[in-house]
Amino acid sequence: MGEAVIEHQLESNDVFALIERVTGRRLGSANLALEAVSADSHSAATLQVPDSAPLLLLERLTHLDDGTPVDLEYIRMCGDRITLRSNLLRDI
């Protein structure tokens, strides 16, 4: 599946829509973890912050509707440049 996805222009396509199109399945769920980290040299240069600047690291593991994991991402961001919103539902 990965080869079929990277054949497309990822800069101009929604990767999740591509995954659904390539697999013929819908996305089902994602597990998220948010962690405070220090910027490594690559992240610092990309985000234009000093080395070791405080960052937030979002780890996201996305699954298809049948539970198959399909996408693992590590997204680093500056805390002063984001807003985190969430909608939590209690399933009884």
Q: Structural domain boundaries of the chain?
A: 2-79
Long-range contacts of 56-63 (CB under 8 A, 24+ apart): 56/82, 58/32, 58/33, 58/34, 59/32, 59/33, 59/34, 59/35, 60/30, 60/31, 60/32, 61/30, 61/31, 62/16, 62/19, 62/27, 62/29, 62/30, 63/27, 63/28, 63/29, 63/30, 63/31
Check residue 62 and give its pLDDT. 96
Check residue 2 and give its pLDDT. 65
pTM comes to 0.79
pLDDT tens-digit readout, 58-80: 999 999 999 999 999 999 999 88
Check residue 15 and give its pLDDT. 86
Considering the segment(s) 2-79 as one domain, its CATH architecture is: 3-Layer(aba) Sandwich (3.40)
pLDDT tens-digit readout, 8-53: 667 777 889 989 988 999 999 999 999 999 999 999 999 999 999 9
